[in-house]
A and B are shown apart, each in its own frame.
Chain A
Amino acid sequence: MSTAIDSLVRLRERFAKDGPGWLVAKRDEALAAFLEAGLPTRRLEAWKSTNLAPLAALEFARIAPTGVATIDAKLAASLPAGVRVRSLAEVLRTEPDRLAGRLGRLADPKKSALVALQTACLEDGVVVELDAGVCLAEPIRIRFHSSPDVYDRPSAAFPRLLVVAGEGSEATIFEDFDSAGAARRAAPGFTNHVAELLLASGARIELVQVQAEPAPRVHFTSVHAEVERGAHFASHVVTLGSGLLRSELDVRLLAAGAETVMNGFFLGQDAAHVDHFTTVDHAAAHCTSAQEYRGVLADRSKGVFRGRVIVRPGAQKTDARQSNPNLLLSDEAAIDTRPQLEIYADDVRASHGSTIGQLDADALFFLRARGIGESEARVLLTRAFAQTIVDAIRDPELRGEIGARVERALAGLESVSADRSGAGGAAPAPEKGGRR
């Protein structure tokens, strides 16, 4: 067993027996599953491109209570009737059985060792409940910030999110993983976040996530959503951190008319390792998924994109689109992109494409021919590349805010504006496929 596992198993004892019996049992089962599997290694197909060795070597000094999650106070005070945004600990204390059968319904410890670890160490988080027909205009903002003291010695955090969206309800939820001024004295650490979203018929939920934790912190997020008839789930994942990150998204379309939009923008800088793994499961006919992940890789960073699309037998009239364009800004940066289509129905529209390239030479020349200097033109085009993802965020306020953060992150890159010889002429190497 690794140092990390030892220390976490010891630390979780502080709260392992807290809470209702069903939860204690869930934690124990998850721990057993985790101990059996151990931390994922590159021998596993799903972890081939990502090495968790830096995590395994950590000796954790504490598990940070997830009280670090803050919910926008202004919003909390003015929530309309039928919307409840509470801490998980509070719900477990006041209504011990309310979440039984919901918490952990989608995130299966037997399928993922890190989900198992999260569940074994589950203590707190945020629960959002929307009654049928309730529409929330303002986004629900949740900040998970690792406070500076957390950074002194290796700490782990296991925040959880559960969203239960009633029929026809609507809301935008913003999860912000930030470093709250701790960047200067960042110490190794681990954030392991699991989110589950249950969308009843006709619900429309938008989940916006920003991950900006600095190296050497290791970040793992695993989002699971089930989408019922006519419901719409939009996920926007924006990754700007500099450490080791793995972000998983697993969407199940359960009944006709269910739709999902899965968008991502990731920026790799310094020696960051940014791994996105998505799965969309078309379990019923007449469902739609549109997926676009865009990556910008600078410096010595490495990006990984794996997109699984499963179309079950009988899921006719499926419309599944996936695209993963990437920009490489440095010769030392790399991207490993692999779509994975598993189609078991015959009347299906499915397409996927990934590209790896540099900035468009014609666009770059056009801007220069209008007097814009080459380095400024490069920054402009790189920002534009990200902008199409940011623009898809429905909430205008969040769109502006996140756009500004992306812009700042890109402006800080030296290699964006650097003149790379050959960049003018090199065309992206397309790798496209599709079937009907």
Chain B
Amino acid sequence: MSKTPLIQIRNLHANAGETPILRGLTLELFPGEVHAIMGPNGSGKSTLSNVLVGRPGYEVTGGEVLFRGKNLLEMDAETRAREGIFLAFQYPVEIPGVANNYFLRTAVNAIRSHRGQPRLDAIDFLTLLREKMKLVEMPEEMMARAINEGFSGGEKKRNEILQMLLLDPSFCILDETDSGLDIDALRIVSNGVNQMRSPDRAMLVITHYQRLLDYIVPDRVHVLSKGRIARSGGKELALELEEKGYGWIEDEAGGAS
């Protein structure tokens, strides 16, 4: 494992709209690591993922984020993606009129250009696409359809993972990717994620439930409460949370806010 962190989040404060949500969050991930972030609703899980990818409507009010030593917060959303940050959205958007395959090729080529790699032509892209689609068990006919249009909840999440496989990011954030999935879809999605685990890549798995972590086993588990990390531990912390709920940690963290 490399000694420099891939991403360093230091004392991050951020608002969603006008409301302060993150209140001094500090977190580091090294290449090869998978961390899980758990926490009750409103603890700041989604704000963290949105801030990291530069979504409009979120304002950083303090702290810093370094991605491979570069100031991430200065980059626009497309630059962050090209630099290797990927968020699998909790609620993937439907875009009627844009074919999935066309979108994917445009995105892959935007990222390849940024990395100084040659653009893929339609044939080469199709070969790559077919290979990745197999991993998430997506039928080919879904590629000609508009982005997520008419997709079931599980299909949308599989499409997110497909994008992750194609764009080859170095830091992946999965925002409640397990929500709304049945057990089969959960297995497929987790397989896709596990395919991506590598010594060069880090992942942040945000989830409300321990269930996902049976499939994607984390190196570290953090509990988010009131906008900061209230407790960190190994994968057994997730089991403890499952058993005891979040109350005891919130009580512990309560005095600090």
Contact = CB atoms under 8 A, between A and B. Distances in A.
**Same assembly:** yes
A385 interface: yes
Contacts of A369: 53-55, 77-78, 80-81, 87, 89
Interface stretch (A147-155, A283-291, A359-367): A359-367
A425 B57 contact: yes
A297 B114 CA distance: 33
Contacts of B89: 366, 369
A41 interface: no
Nearest to B77: A368
A404 interface: no
A366 B81 CA distance: 11
A49 interface: no
Q: Looking at chain B, what size class is its interface with the partner chain?
A: 20 to 34
Interface in B39-94: 53-57, 76-78, 80-82, 87, 89, 92-93
Most chain A CB atoms below 10 A, which of B53, B78, B167: B78
Contacts of A360: 93, 95
A371 interface: yes
Interface string A76-116: 00000000000000000000000000000000000000000
A373 B93 contact: no
A365 B81 CA distance: 11
Interface in A364-396: 365-374, 376-377, 380-381, 383-388, 391
Interface in A236-291: none
Given A374-B78, A380-B98, A425-B56, A367 B103 contact: yes
A376 B105 CA distance: 13
Contacts of B87: 369
A20 interface: no
SS of A interface (majority): helix
B96 interface: yes
B111 interface: yes
Contacts of A385: 97
Contact of A380 (B78, B106, B111): B106
Given A380-B106, A388-B97, A370 B81 contact: yes
A194 B98 CA distance: 35
A384 B96 contact: yes
A388 B106 contact: no
Nearest to B148: A366
B97 A373 contact: no
Interface in B191-205: none
A400 interface: no
A424 B163 CA distance: 24
B138 interface: no
Contacts of B82: 371
B249 interface: no
B114 A363 contact: no
B185 interface: no
B97 A365 contact: no
A391 B55 CA distance: 32
A38 B95 CA distance: 47
Nearest to B78: A368
B103 A371 contact: no
A338 B82 CA distance: 44
B76 to A, nearest CB: 7
A315 to B, nearest CB: 31
B107 interface: yes
A383 B102 CA distance: 12
Contact of A384 (B81, B98, B107): B98
Nearest to A370: B107
> Nearest 5 A-B pairs (CB), nearest first?
A384-B97, A387-B97, A371-B81, A370-B107, A368-B77
Given A369-B55, A370-B110, A372-B103, 20 more contacts: A360-B93, A362-B93, A367-B107, A368-B77, A368-B81, A369-B77, A369-B78, A370-B163, A371-B111, A371-B114, A372-B106, A373-B110, A374-B76, A376-B106, A377-B78, A380-B98, A381-B98, A385-B97, A386-B97, A388-B97
11 contacts: A365-B55, A366-B92, A367-B107, A368-B78, A369-B78, A370-B81, A371-B114, A373-B110, A380-B98, A383-B98, A384-B96
